[in-house]
Structure 1
């Protein structure tokens, strides 16, 4: 609570706690309250998208991610969540566009490796195996001992040798 009573941050924190407990409906309500206090609170929009997605409301979830991105065009988590939802909806072109947008941002090496790996996985799913291998290799250039990337690359290489 703020000095004058409930505020966007207290509602947002309550939403995060409810989401951690799996109470997505309750979390959604708290994120909505937070947005009522501040309609330009990008994190609340993004996490409301997560709650909506967990409630099975993909269309509303996408709207929340897009609103979050509109408010903060460099909000990596919102772009990543949007990409994951597009992937789930089998919009691989859209998911790849989100990955490319993230890769244009300033990222920590660990985050860049994760995004390169995700992009490679999407490319592999679309049958672009050579390009997927290139992205796995880019990730391994940054972190040669990353077990997840090594495992994904090995699985793809085994698939290609069959």
Structure 2
């Protein structure tokens, strides 16, 4: 009888232990699912608490630290987010985690490390998002040829859709145009148009290439085509107006601004901007025309200096000044900026950025 009782007691203990493990697993999953729901609702702080609880129960599951990093990123706790992503990667080197780490490093103003993270992600699983991110980092580093090559790598991927391929050709063609690689730029444009014949920016880029080669009337036809597809294409409109002015012997409109598509986020308060032109720039014209304005359109005092080569300048705030935290500013590069040979820009450019 005693032996029988012992067996029953042991069995009950085993059942209790099993139920305890099941309850723990359910709690872990519950925290995780609640965290995902809260994250999708934009409640990042509460979501973070749930992912931390799940990670405490099971510290060997990388996905919990991955989600913690995403929450912290959205909470603009970038250093903490980076630590969470590194914890996740130590458990499992997953391609999306490297991608998130790269985004975080880019926001922290560490582009070289971000580039390394995106390369790690691509090595694990090459897909279009990572190439676009990598190209954006290369643009930030002013490596236009490499950025163009990265965009062109997108079209070789098996799972890339035609829309993404056309966008890659569009971006590559513009960068190749900036670097005066007109033959390759035109090839990229034509490849893009073969995929998406109604993409306005491709016609705009084709016009820019033709204009740079002196084919003004063909360039004008392409600007017109771009505007017929998208009447709100400001870059095409400005290029069209400036070319018409040139053909009529008039001064191009220097007030027209093309808005840079990518808004820069988490910019350091002591940021030094590097601007690269497609030909040697006249420093005095840059100093007299380039400006940065705050949200009230108040112009900041700048220091504009020559860069590492004749095509490059740097733009920073005057000595002893810094940007205000968590504020929006706009960098303006008007078309009055000219090359050392007196050639003005086809379009002015403006770019919004937000400080940390």
Aligned with residue 102 of structure 1, among 185, 192, 199: 192
1:153 aligns with 2:243: no
Aligned to 1:121: 208
1:32 aligns with 2:119: yes
Distance 1:59 1:124 in 2: 21
Deviations 1:49-96 (A, max 9, x none): 332343354554454334332224842333233223322321111111
Aligned with residue 50 of structure 1, among 136, 141, 151: 136
Q: Greater share of strand residues, 1 or 2?
A: 2
Distance 1:88 1:114 in 2: 15
Q: Greater share of helix residues, 1 or 2?
A: 1
Alignment of 1:59-138 (within 5 A): 60-71=146-157, 72=160, 74=162, 75-106=165-196, 112-138=199-225
Aligned to 2:252: none
Contact 2:94 2:124 survives alignment (8 Å) = yes
**Structure 1 pair 26/113, CA: closer, same or farther in 2 (3 Å)?**
same
**Structure 1 pair 53/146, CA: closer, same or farther in 2 (3 Å)?**
closer
**Structure 1 pair 47/145, CA: closer, same or farther in 2 (3 Å)?**
closer
> Residue 118 of structure 1 aligns to a residue in which SS?
helix
Deviations 1:4-57 (A, max 9, x none): 74421121133234334543212101101212321x323323432332343354
Count of residues in correspondence between the two structures: 158
Distance 2:237 2:185 in 1: 22
> Residue 104 of structure 1 aligns to a residue in which SS?
helix
Between 1:9-18 and 1:89-98, the stretch displaced more is 9-18
Contact 1:120 1:135 survives alignment (8 Å) = yes
Q: CA deviation at 1:131?
A: 0.6
**Structure 1 pair 22/87, CA: closer, same or farther in 2 (3 Å)?**
farther
Q: CA deviation at 1:134?
A: 0.5
* Unaligned stretches of 5+ residues in structure 1: none
User: Aligned Cα RMSD in Å?
Assistant: 2.7
Contact 2:122 2:130 survives alignment (8 Å) = yes
Between 1:60-69 and 1:146-155, the stretch displaced more is 60-69
Distance 2:92 2:229 in 1: 47
Higher relative contact order (Cα pairs below 8 Å, separated by 6+ residues): 1
Distance 1:35 1:60 in 2: 15
Deviations 1:88-127 (A, max 9, x none): 32111111111111112237x6xx1222222212211111
* Unaligned stretches of 5+ residues in structure 2: 1-61, 65-90, 250-356
Structure with max Cα Rg: 2
